Chains A and B, each alone.
Chain A
């Protein structure tokens, strides 16, 4: 099972994703360069966090035009899995792999913190190793993480179970205080209608090592392993 991790100019969580996949998960990691057109036969594509093209113009807006995105989009259209983390979520939205958009945090400040997520849908190929309603501790670090979508789009997301993670407090309640960026309905992560593209603002690759305080992100990678093997 091969995970491909794309490096755009300005990606800065590509190393972390690579280490999570290869060391914590024990799978094969393949580094993919943004100027290339070859996905090298990977099963999963990870669009990592960072500041691709400096977030200039708009987060993710330039990276979606990188040469490799043509192949990433084709990969997704074949129904193969794509995981967009943080800046990768933003790129996936800009590339129309996912609905909605990510706005500047309501505080107008970058927010770096450990947050609590509630698993809303444990049947996706990214979350099958979690239980529905399970609470996860995973860090966030972003300036543009406020998910938004029009009312029609939101009800479509809800109806089809496309909301995968929400920000909650320690009791599992969706409060404003638990929502680090004022995302619509506390949404932290969504999948596309087909269920093969996941975008999330929190960083599961930073939660795979007990020494760093949480291993709650590991099951996300294990879920993909299980789904592809199945």
Chain B
């Protein structure tokens, strides 16, 4: 038996092959695999499976270099989500994924369906989603179009997660012209289950039925995964119909039904019909189980009549799942779905014959030999060579940049940085996210370096954070990759958590360009260095390449999603100073490093110099010290120094929460050998500002732990004054003034949004529905 064309199928021509994104070599490979010319349906299937989004054909060899194991890792890469054990018989499933290209053309639905997809990845593992995070990057907010994208993405993220009822607890938002034409929208979901509830997406058991559950299949999102695997162009606007439309209400029903189904014992495996829809989910489940499958598209519940097998296979209609059930339990499966007002139809079965077969009734429209169609994809080893532009930018000496006249007053500089949208308060964003539903959020957005979510029924909590500094990765990818992991680890440690494991979302440009592939290989290498040094294996993630547009190529941005574990919630620590009189200690050391800083970017419009050095052994010692001091009860607050350097971090300690402002008096004259701007605004790594009631104990522990530590001042100053003395001057201001710069910046900019919406997008009414 073999597949034959359907009446009305277009002829297979080189043009059609090219439209499907296959190179001539890849097409030859397909013909060899089949032993004949493919049918139109088969061409569609292969184009969906062999695009970058599904096949990782350019990234796989590099990803294999990452560490993926630890005694507590229950599920590493290759499944819908990674899973770690956290004790008490509990396990945590988590994953991060991109939805960049859809969000670039349709921000509301693009972001919403990104959230929907990552939720499904987690609950298909058997875990109930307990927290969402995100990592968003846009161009400059000076652009009306960027404001429209920003507002639409935030509303899309919020509306979807809020409706499903999963708290959005943390994230990051970065603004830089590098993301002007190609915003990054990365969403992370974290779920909780008992270890024995873990289920995978591995088709097994000859004769077992394959069941489509959830929403009906429509014509939306066809070729969405292929769209995500090419550069954005002027023509991308025309691909708006490839963006799927989300229905969070159906998702909530599907979530409850899926968990009930998994707990019922009636099913063998379950997988989201996400990117490349039915094609990808069925082929991946077959490959994992090393079995054959047959699917009859005429049995798939559809939204509209006349859909072809090609369309049904490639639709990315949202809120659908593919289930392999135990034979004979079909009625029980249907009953659970009906309880939740959802459909379930048997559309195929697991077969002994090693073949991937699709029929339309009795007519075979696609048939591939072997069970490994997914892995038949070619693997590429592109050329990697560092770009000359970057080399030149990195070589420039930041200290040679003449200060602007206004910088004579460092308070001006500090205020500029605090009001930089990348640094400024994101309350405008997270007030739109329900961060307290599920009644487990101990630390929500905006008050600590990471979110803290309680594990119900225990005294434990998870600390969660997404992080990456793309500018560092751009200027020196290996160091940048190391810092992305190290900073995320430092962030969760600041709340009192031991860093456990990461998921990553690797947002890069076109891998066929040697300078991009160099960035990719080096950044992943750097991440691996840090993961090994800090003991945080990678349990999965997502690769998003081709993040390029006619306007810009994104900074290479390997977003890290870090999960940390807090053994005892009485040790949870926030970033802000609390008590007048507490001693302020700086753990770590200041350096003369100024390269790749937010200071150079915001004040001088420059992306130059080398990023700060990353001492991974030092980072490990710093984290160990902080956790020891926290357990001893010595730490009142902890905040790491990152974008904007020491001065910004200290100001945040004083007014991160607007209604909890405190005065600060700090003296940095010990660092007289450093220039004032490097001292105040340089971004030397491995530094944490802590406030403590037991300075002697902290200093002694630091000496034992080989971590530089110095008392630098005291919380509280008359009349709420913020003061940093240094060897050549003083930065002094009422805290309230700094708080206004920090907290009002984004709301002031976004008051212009109404105008932007009408000017920039005639479709905004529909998208803001």
**Which residues of A are at the interface with B, using a C-beta cutoff of 8 A?**
9-10, 12-13, 15-16, 19-20, 49-51, 53-56, 109-113, 139, 141, 143, 170, 203, 205-206, 208-209, 211-213
B671 within 8 Å of A (CB atoms):
no
Instruction: List the A residue with the shortest CB-CB distance to B159.
Output: A110
Contact of A10 among B163, B432, B438 (CB under 8 A): B163
With A54-B163, A110-B158 already in contact, 14 other A-B pairs whose C-beta atoms are closer than 8 Å: A10-B163, A12-B165, A12-B252, A16-B438, A19-B456, A20-B439, A54-B249, A54-B250, A109-B431, A111-B431, A111-B432, A112-B431, A112-B433, A208-B439
B441:A10 contact, CB within 8 angstroms: no
B756 within 8 Å of A (CB atoms):
no
- Hey, which chain B residues are within 8 Å of A203, CB to CB? 436
Among B396-437, those with CB < 8 Å from A are 430-437
Contact of B163 among A55, A139, A209 (CB under 8 A): A55
Q: Mark B429-454, 1 if CB is under 8 A from A, else 0.
A: 01111111111111000000000001
Q: In the complex the two chains form, what is the Cα distance from A53 to B163 in whole Å?
A: 10
Q: With A9-B341, A113-B431, A211-B454 known to touch, is A16 a contact of B253 (CB < 8 Å)?
A: no
A141:B434 contact, CB within 8 angstroms: yes
Contact of A12 among B164, B341, B431, B433 (CB under 8 A): B164
- Min CB gap A164→B, angstroms: 21
Among B298-356, those with CB < 8 Å from A are 340-341
B659 within 8 Å of A (CB atoms):
yes
- Hey, which chain B residues are within 8 Å of A170, CB to CB? 659
Return the 3 tightest CB-CB contacts between A and B, nearest first.
A12-B165, A54-B249, A141-B434
B249:A112 contact, CB within 8 angstroms: no
- Min CB gap A203→B, angstroms: 7
B249:A9 contact, CB within 8 angstroms: yes
B82 within 8 Å of A (CB atoms):
no
A205:B439 contact, CB within 8 angstroms: yes
Q: With A211-B442, A211-B454 known to touch, is A54 a contact of B248 (CB < 8 Å)?
A: yes
B552 within 8 Å of A (CB atoms):
no
B569 within 8 Å of A (CB atoms):
yes
A54:B434 contact, CB within 8 angstroms: no
- Hey, which chain A residues are within 8 Å of B732, CB to CB? none
Q: In the complex the two chains form, what is the Cα distance from A56 to B340 in whole Å?
A: 17
A109:B432 contact, CB within 8 angstroms: yes
Most buried by A among B165, B341, B441: B165
**12 A-B pairs with C-beta separation under 8 A:** A9-B252, A10-B163, A12-B163, A51-B165, A54-B250, A55-B163, A110-B431, A110-B434, A111-B431, A141-B435, A211-B454, A212-B436
B247 within 8 Å of A (CB atoms):
yes
- Hey, which chain A residues are within 8 Å of B441, CB to CB? 212
Q: In the complex the two chains form, what is the Cα distance from A97 to B659 in whole Å?
A: 38
- Hey, which chain B residues are within 8 Å of A55, CB to CB? 163, 249
Instruction: List the B residue with the shortest CB-CB distance to A180.
Output: B431
- Hey, which chain A residues are within 8 Å of B253, CB to CB? 9-10
Q: In the complex the two chains form, what is the Cα distance from A142 to B666 in whole Å?
A: 42
Contact of B435 among A50, A112, A205 (CB under 8 A): A112
- Hey, which chain B residues are within 8 Å of A15, CB to CB? 438
B437:A141 contact, CB within 8 angstroms: yes
B140 within 8 Å of A (CB atoms):
no
B569:A211 contact, CB within 8 angstroms: yes
- Min CB gap B346→A, angstroms: 24
- Hey, which chain A residues are within 8 Å of B693, CB to CB? none
Among B234-259, those with CB < 8 Å from A are 247-250, 252-253
A212:B440 contact, CB within 8 angstroms: yes
Q: In the complex the two chains form, what is the Cα distance from A48 to B434 in whole Å?
A: 15
The number of A-B residue pairs with CB atoms under 8 Å apart is: 88
Contact of B249 among A53, A141, A211 (CB under 8 A): A53
- Min CB gap B328→A, angstroms: 27
Instruction: List the B residue with the shortest CB-CB distance to A52.
Output: B249
Q: With A54-B248, A55-B163 known to touch, is A110 a contact of B569 (CB < 8 Å)?
A: no
Q: In the complex the two chains form, what is the Cα distance from A9 to B153 in whole Å?
A: 26
- Min CB gap A135→B, angstroms: 14
- Min CB gap B394→A, angstroms: 41
Contact of A51 among B163, B341, B442 (CB under 8 A): B163
Q: In the complex the two chains form, what is the Cα distance from A194 to B199 in whole Å?
A: 51
Q: In the complex the two chains form, what is the Cα distance from A209 to B453 in whole Å?
A: 13
- Hey, which chain A residues are within 8 Å of B433, CB to CB? 110, 112
Instruction: List the A residue with the shortest CB-CB distance to B163.
Output: A51
Instruction: List the B residue with the shortest CB-CB distance to A114.
Output: B436
- Hey, which chain A residues are within 8 Å of B569, CB to CB? 211
- Min CB gap B462→A, angstroms: 14
- Hey, which chain A residues are within 8 Å of B249, CB to CB? 9-10, 51, 53-56
- Hey, which chain B residues are within 8 Å of A10, CB to CB? 163, 249, 252-253
- Hey, which chain B residues are within 8 Å of A213, CB to CB? 442
B252:A112 contact, CB within 8 angstroms: no
B252:A206 contact, CB within 8 angstroms: no
B247:A54 contact, CB within 8 angstroms: yes
Q: In the complex the two chains form, what is the Cα distance from A141 to B167 in whole Å?
A: 10
- Min CB gap A167→B, angstroms: 15
- Hey, which chain A residues are within 8 Å of B435, CB to CB? 112, 141
Q: In the complex the two chains form, what is the Cα distance from A56 to B163 in whole Å?
A: 11
- Min CB gap A19→B, angstroms: 7
- Min CB gap A215→B, angstroms: 12
Instruction: List the A residue with the shortest CB-CB distance to B569.
Output: A211
Contact of A110 among B432, B439, B454 (CB under 8 A): B432
Instruction: List the B residue with the shortest CB-CB distance to A53.
Output: B249
Instruction: List the B residue with the shortest CB-CB distance to A111.
Output: B431
- Hey, which chain A residues are within 8 Å of B158, CB to CB? 110
Q: With A50-B165, A55-B163 known to touch, is A16 a contact of B659 (CB < 8 Å)?
A: no
Q: In the complex the two chains form, what is the Cα distance from A113 to B431 in whole Å?
A: 6
A12:B659 contact, CB within 8 angstroms: no
- Hey, which chain A residues are within 8 Å of B247, CB to CB? 54
B162 within 8 Å of A (CB atoms):
yes
Q: In the complex the two chains form, what is the Cα distance from A211 to B459 in whole Å?
A: 10
Contact of B437 among A12, A20, A56 (CB under 8 A): A12
Q: In the complex the two chains form, what is the Cα distance from A107 to B164 in whole Å?
A: 22
Instruction: List the B residue with the shortest CB-CB distance to A109.
Output: B432
Instruction: List the B residue with the shortest CB-CB distance to A49.
Output: B437
A141:B162 contact, CB within 8 angstroms: yes
- Hey, which chain B residues are within 8 Å of A208, CB to CB? 439
Q: Mark B157-176, 1 if CB is under 8 A from A, else 0.
A: 01100111100000000000
B438:A112 contact, CB within 8 angstroms: no
A212:B432 contact, CB within 8 angstroms: no
- Min CB gap A118→B, angstroms: 17
Q: In the complex the two chains form, what is the Cα distance from A128 to B432 in whole Å?
A: 33
B436:A206 contact, CB within 8 angstroms: yes
- Min CB gap A202→B, angstroms: 11
Q: In the complex the two chains form, what is the Cα distance from A56 to B432 in whole Å?
A: 19
Q: In the complex the two chains form, what is the Cα distance from A208 to B454 in whole Å?
A: 14
Instruction: List the B residue with the shortest CB-CB distance to A17.
Output: B439
Q: With A10-B252, A51-B248 known to touch, is A112 a contact of B434 (CB < 8 Å)?
A: yes
- Hey, which chain B residues are within 8 Å of A205, CB to CB? 439
Instruction: List the A residue with the shortest CB-CB distance to B432.
Output: A110
Contact of B165 among A13, A109, A143 (CB under 8 A): A13
Most buried by B among A139, A205, A208: A139
Instruction: List the A residue with the shortest CB-CB distance to B447.
Output: A213
Instruction: List the B residue with the shortest CB-CB distance to A170.
Output: B659
- Min CB gap B517→A, angstroms: 41
Q: In the complex the two chains form, what is the Cα distance from A139 to B439 in whole Å?
A: 10
Most buried by B among A19, A53, A56: A19
Q: In the complex the two chains form, what is the Cα distance from A141 to B248 in whole Å?
A: 17
Most buried by B among A53, A55, A56, A109: A109
